[in-house]
Amino acid sequence: MVNYKELGLVNSREIFKKAFAGKYAIPAFNFNNMEQMQAIVQACVETKSPVILQVSSGARQYANQTLLRYMAQGAVEYAKELGYNIPIVLHLDHGNSFELCKDCIEMGFSSVMIDGSHFPYDENVELTRRVVEYAHQYDITVEGELGVLAGIEDDVAAEHHTYTQPDEVEDFVKKTGVDSLAISIGTSHGANKFTPEQCTRNADGILIPPPLRFDILEEVEKRIPGFPIVLHGASSVPQDLVATINKYGGALKDAVGIPEDQLRRAATSAVCKINIDSDGRLAMTAAVREVLATQPAEFDPRKYLGPARDKLRELYKHKILHVLGSNDKA
């Protein structure tokens, strides 16, 4: 059993408390490789922001779980070397079983998500409660989920959002003992969050997605005052990145995300954690495509992964400074 505190990591309790009081949100960025981890740490140190490093089960399979854990440990040392000791959480994203959560807890994660949102309510409660009971013995924080996002989660559940029912949240939080709750208010995973039919078009023909359901968020806030809320599927799908990808041979069609002003508004509410993965993928892909297309003789991976890392760092800094407001909160 590895204790995350010995690795220099923190759980999410204190940073969520401060985020709630200070009306900002902590960035939760996914990572699968060294360049992503470097970009995250550089951006967060340069802006003095706390950060949640997220590992999905796909990331564990891709990169090897042991390597990822040591990379997160390395992130703590790397931040110090860059000159600022920021709070770093190592978090399991979308844990789908008790065993996976237990594995991560034993490996040194400081926080886990148990995503029982696809199960019937009572099963979600029971699974989440079991993970919380285990995790809390080691002072590890747990995120649960109520409601189903469209997008990646589609293949398990419905085609459309199943919005969180505010009537369920108080009972869920009380019965499970979770530390934070992910809710569904219209965000969605991936780069194609909405079909063109779900959107309207502005005068320039740009797709405008349907607004987030702030009414549901406000109802949730009333039922569980002061409780930290999490937004998944919160990439904005910057259209300049989509255009660069398509200019240099990509084929992203109708890619559309959550407008930044809506996320900014969410960050000032009970939303204490905002998950961003797809925007980072777009930034890296745009940079790699541009280098490979404009410098066809280049074959040193550092020559395209380096620019990809730089673009990613700038994207993360933008999110922290202009969307989440977590700068200078470390």
Residue 59 binds which entry of Zn ion, ligand 13P, ligand G3H, none, with Cβ cut-offs from 5 to 8 Å by kind? ligand G3H
What part of residues 6-45 is at the interface with ligand 13P (CB under 6 A)?
Answer: 30
Structure tokens at 72: 């997160």
- Residue among 69, 91, 94, 161 that touches ligand G3H (CB under 6 A): 94
Q: Are 48 and 84 in contact (CB under 8 A)?
A: yes
How many residues belong to the chain?
330
Residue 235 binds which entry of Zn ion, ligand 13P, ligand G3H, none, with Cβ cut-offs from 5 to 8 Å by kind? ligand 13P
**All residues at 6 or more sequence positions from 1 whose CB lies less than 8 Å from its CB, including other chains:** 106, 138
Q: Is 253 helix (H, G, I), strand (E, B) or coil?
A: coil
**CA atoms lying within 13 Å on the CB side of residue 276:** 31
* Paired residues of 173 in beta bridges: none
**CA atoms lying within 13 Å on the CB side of residue 227:** 25
Name the residue nearer to ligand G3H (CB basis): 58 or 301. Answer: 58
How many residues belong to the site for ligand 13P (CB under 6 A)?
14
What part of residues 185-244 is at the interface with ligand G3H (CB under 6 A)?
Answer: 189
Least separation, in Å, of the C-beta of 152 and ligand G3H? 6
Q: Is 194 helix (H, G, I), strand (E, B) or coil?
A: coil
Name the residue nearer to ligand 13P (CB basis): 30 or 47. Answer: 30
What part of residues 257-286 is at the interface with ligand G3H (CB under 6 A)?
Answer: 277
Tell me: does residue 278 bind ligand 13P (CB under 6 A): yes
Name the residue nearer to ligand 13P (CB basis): 93 or 179. Answer: 93
Name the residue nearer to ligand 13P (CB basis): 108 or 238. Answer: 238
Least separation, in Å, of the C-beta of 37 and ligand 13P? 16
With 0-12 CB in 10 A as exposed, 13-18 as middle and 19+ as buried, what is 46?
Answer: middle
- CA-angle at 308, arms to 9 and 151, nearest 5°: 75
Q: Is 93 a catalytic residue?
A: yes
Q: What is the DSSP string of 138-167?
A: TT-EEEEEESB-BSGGGGTS-SS-B---HH
Q: Which one from 93, 115, 277, 279 is the annotated catalytic residue?
A: 93
Name the residue nearer to ligand 13P (CB basis): 276 or 284. Answer: 276
Q: Which residues bind ligand 13P (CB under 6 A)?
A: 30, 93-94, 189-190, 232-235, 275-279
Q: Which residues form the catalytic set?
A: 93
Q: Which residues bind ligand G3H (CB under 6 A)?
A: 30, 56, 58-59, 93-94, 152, 189, 277
